Structure 1
Amino acid sequence: MSAGDSTEHDELRHVVREFLGERSPSSEVRRLMEAGESRDELVWALLAGQLGLTGIAVPEKYGGAGYGPVELGIVLEEMGGALVVAPYFATVALAGQALAASGDEDAMARWLSGIADGSLTATLAVAEESGSWDLAEVAATAEPAGDGWAVTGTKLFVIDGHTADLLLVVAHAPDGPGVFAIEGDTAGTERVRLDSLDLTRPLGAVSLHGARAVRVGAGRDTAAWLSEVRDLILAALAAEQLGGAARCLDMSVEYAKVREQFGRPIGSFQAIKHKCANMLLEVECGRSAVYHAREALAGAQPDGRLAAVLAYTYCSGAFTRAAKECIQIHGGIGYTWEHDAHLYLRRAKSSELLFGQPARQRARLAELAGI
C-alpha cells in the first residue's frame, strides 16, 4: 500500500483546505443549515469552475480531470472536516461515480459533462423503507413505456433528493434490477425534504408515479455494477468520516490547551490525555484503512472490496466516538447549540446509518473476510 500522499496530492489537499477555510467556515455552514439551503451559489461556482472539484472523478473525455478514488478521497476528507453544505457528495461521489462506472456511453455523454462543470446536480436513489441498499429490498418497479420507461415507487433517505436535477433510481424491470435516470422536474415525480438528524446534509423522499425515465447501463449486470459502485461510495464516505473525526480531535486538543480548571489547563489531567490519545489512535488507524482502500480501488486490486467495507465500518465507529469525546472534553459548552461539536455528532450518526443498520455492514465485512 502507499505510505501516504504524493507531492501533488499534498498540494490538492492544501488548496481544498485553504478554499474551505475561507469560503465555508462554521458561520457559513450554520447560515446555510438554518436557512434550509442546499448550497451557496457562489461557493459552488468557484468549487466547480475555479478548482474543478466537481469533475475530479469524471473521465477527461467528458470534461473532467480523469482522476479516481484517491483524489476524490482527499477532497472528501477535507470537506468532511469542514461539514460543507453542498450537493457535492451526492453529485460526485454517488451519481458521478455510478455514471462513470456504467459503461453506458450515451448516458455518460449526456450527463457527466454537466456534473464536471457544476451545472448539473444529481443523486443516487436506492434505499426505501428499510434504509438498506440491498437490491432484494427494492420494491420500486419500471415498465417499458414507448421509447423509454415508466418508474413507480418511493425512495427514502435520498441525499439531496429534493433538489437534485437528476435522479438515478434503482428499480426492478421485467428483466431484473436496473438503474433509471429521471429529470427532477419530470411529471409524476414528487419530492420533499425529510426531517433528519444531520442538518448539514439534507435527505429527501422521492415518490414516483409512472415517471418517464431513461435506462442507464442496460448492457451491464446491474447487481455487479452497483456492487462495484457501492465499494467506491463506501471508500469515499469513509474518507469524509475520517476528515470529520480528525477535526473533532483537533477541536478537542485545542480546547484542552486553553480551558483551565483548578489553575491548570485541562489537557494536563490524565483523563483528558487518555481521551485525546485514544482519539488520535483511532483517527490514525482510520487513516491507514482509508488510504489503503482508495489505493486498492484505484488499482483494481483483489482486496479492494474488503478494504472499502473495512474502511467504512471502522471509520463509522471512530467518527461517532470522536464526536462524542469531543463533546465530553468541551464539557457544558459542548452540549450547546452554539458550539459546533453537536454538528459533528449529527453527521457521524447519519453517515453511520446511511447504508442501513451498521450490523449489516459488519456482517458483510465478516463474509468478505471469510469469518
Structure 2
Amino acid sequence: MSTAPDPADTSPDLLCTEEEEALRSAVRDLLTDHCDTASVLARTESGTPHDRELWKALTEGMGLAGLLVPEALGGQGATHREAAVVLEELGRAVAPVPYLTSAVIATEALLSCGGDTAGELLAAVASGRTVAALAVPLPTAPGPVAATVRYEGGALHGRVTGVADAEAADVLLVPAADGGLYAVDAGASAGTGPAVTPRTSLDRTRPLADIGFDAVPARLLTDDADRAVRRALRSGAGLLASEQLGIAEWCLTETVRYTRERHQFNRPVGSFQALKHRMAQVWLDTVGTRAAARAAADALATDSADTALAVAVAQAYASPAAVHAAEEALQLHGGIGMTWEHPVHLYLKRAKADSIALGTAGRHREAVGDLVDIAAP
C-alpha cells in the first residue's frame, strides 16, 4: 500500500537532477577528449603541471569557473550541487586544473567580502581568465586560521607555506594578522610581487608552493578575514568529498574491468572469492562516500543549519574511502599497477594528498563529536 509523501518532510533529495546529469555528461565528454591519463602523466613529468588549455575549455568554453558566482556578478548563478558534479568528474580524471582552489575556495572567500574590489575580482575569476588562490596552507581545516602575514606600511610581510595551485594563480587572497583579507597581484614584477617557490609535492596534479611577502603592495578586500576564510574552507572541504568520490569511482571501475580481463589458471582473477570480497568492500565505501558527498553539497547549496555537520561527516568518511579504493586498485592490478606507466599511482597520490587537505579525517571526526556533543573516548 502506497502512502502520500509527508508535506513536513524536509529531507534533501540527494539524487542528481536531469540538469546535473546533463552537466556531468558534458564535463565527462570534455575530459575524455582533453584529459586522458597518458597526457596527465606526461604533464606531471614536465615543468608545467597545470593544463591551461584544459582550464580554458572548462571555463571560457563551458563557464564552469563561475558556477558559484551570481549572474549579477558575471557568473552562472548555480549552486554547490552543480560544482560537486564538476569536481566528481575532475576527480575521475585527476585533472591538473585549479578548479577547487580558484572556482570554489577563492570564489567563496570573495563572495564573503562584498565591495567593488571583490566584485571585480569575482567577475574575472568567474570568466576563467583570472585564477585566484587563498594563501593558506592546504592542510588547514575549516575554523580559525592563525595568519602568518602582517600588513605594515601599506604592504604585506611574511610567509605562507604549502599553498595549493599558487604557481597557477594570478591573484592571491591573503589573510593578515590585523584581521584583514588582502588581494595581491601574483604576477607583479620581481621586487614588488610575492616570491612563489615550488615545493616537492606528492601530488603533482595539484602542486604546492611557499609564498614570501617582502613589502608586497596589497588591496584590502574585507576587514573580516576570519569570516571569509571560514566560509571558503568549509565549502572547499565539503566539495572536496565529491572529488574524492570521483577518485574512488574510477579506481573501482578500472579494478573491476581489469580483474575481469586478467586470467590466471584459466579463470578471470575477478572470480576469485578473496578478490570479490575486497572489491565489494570498495563498492560499499564508494556508495557511502557518494551519499556523504551529496549530502554535504546539498547542505552547502541550501545553507542548511546542519552544513558544518554534513561537511565534517563527508570528509571523515570520504578521505579514508578514497585512499582505500586507490590502494586496492594498485594492489589488485598486480605487477602492472606498480609501474610508472600505469595511471593508478596518480589516483593514489591525489587520494593521499586529499586525505590531509582541508583537515584530516581525524580532525573532522573530532568536529563531528563537538557538533553532536559526543566526547572523545
1:131 touches 1:355 (CA, 8 Å); kept in 2?
A: yes
| Structure 2: unaligned runs, 5 residues or longer | 1-11
Partner AA of 1:163 in structure 2: A
TM-score normalised according to structure 2 size:
0.91
Q: Residue 91 of structure 1: which of 71, 85, 102 is its match?
A: 102
The equivalences for 1:281-320 within 5 A come to 281-320=284-323
Q: Once the 2 structures are TM-superposed, how far is the Cα of residue 365 of structure 1 from its aligned partner?
A: 2.3
Question: Quick check: 1:152 aligned with 2:157?
Answer: yes
Q: Once the 2 structures are TM-superposed, how far is the Cα of residue 93 of structure 1 from its aligned partner?
A: 1.4
**What percentage of aligned pairs have identical amino acids?**
35
Bigger CA drift: 251-260 or 90-99? Answer: 90-99
User: CA distance change for structure 1 residues 332 and 38 in 2, over 3 Å: closer, same or farther?
Assistant: closer
Q: Once the 2 structures are TM-superposed, how far is the Cα of residue 90 of structure 1 from its aligned partner?
A: 1.6
Question: Quick check: 1:57 aligned with 2:68?
Answer: yes
Partner AA of 2:47 in structure 1: G
The equivalences for 1:1-371 within 5 A come to 1-102=12-113, 104-127=114-137, 135=144, 137-143=146-152, 145=153, 149-173=154-178, 177-186=179-188, 187-218=192-223, 220=224, 222-371=225-374
Look up the SS of the partner of 2:137 in the other structure: coil
C-alpha distance in 1 between matches for 2:228 and 2:134: 13
Q: Once the 2 structures are TM-superposed, how far is the Cα of residue 355 of structure 1 from its aligned partner?
A: 2.7
C-alpha distance in 2 between matches for 1:299 and 1:134: 20
Partner AA of 2:150 in structure 1: T
Bigger CA drift: 134-143 or 115-124? Answer: 134-143
Q: Once the 2 structures are TM-superposed, how far is the Cα of residue 43 of structure 1 from its aligned partner?
A: 2.3
Q: How many residues align?
A: 360
2:165 touches 2:206 (CA, 8 Å); kept in 1?
A: yes
1:181 touches 1:215 (CA, 8 Å); kept in 2?
A: yes
C-alpha distance in 2 between matches for 1:224 and 1:50: 32
Match of 2:3 in 1: none
Partner AA of 1:90 in structure 2: T
User: CA distance change for structure 1 residues 241 and 274 in 2, over 3 Å: closer, same or farther?
Assistant: same
Q: Once the 2 structures are TM-superposed, how far is the Cα of residue 293 of structure 1 from its aligned partner?
A: 0.9
Partner AA of 1:152 in structure 2: H
Q: Once the 2 structures are TM-superposed, how far is the Cα of residue 72 of structure 1 from its aligned partner?
A: 0.5
Partner AA of 1:213 in structure 2: A
User: CA distance change for structure 1 residues 85 and 273 in 2, over 3 Å: closer, same or farther?
Assistant: same
Partner AA of 1:139 in structure 2: T
C-alpha distance in 2 between matches for 1:271 and 1:258: 17
Q: Once the 2 structures are TM-superposed, how far is the Cα of residue 356 of structure 1 from its aligned partner?
A: 4.6
C-alpha distance in 2 between matches for 1:33 and 1:360: 30
Q: Once the 2 structures are TM-superposed, how far is the Cα of residue 139 of structure 1 from its aligned partner?
A: 2.5
Look up the SS of the partner of 1:162 in the other structure: helix
Q: Deviations over 1:264-305 (max 9, x none)?
A: 001101111111111110111010011111111111111011
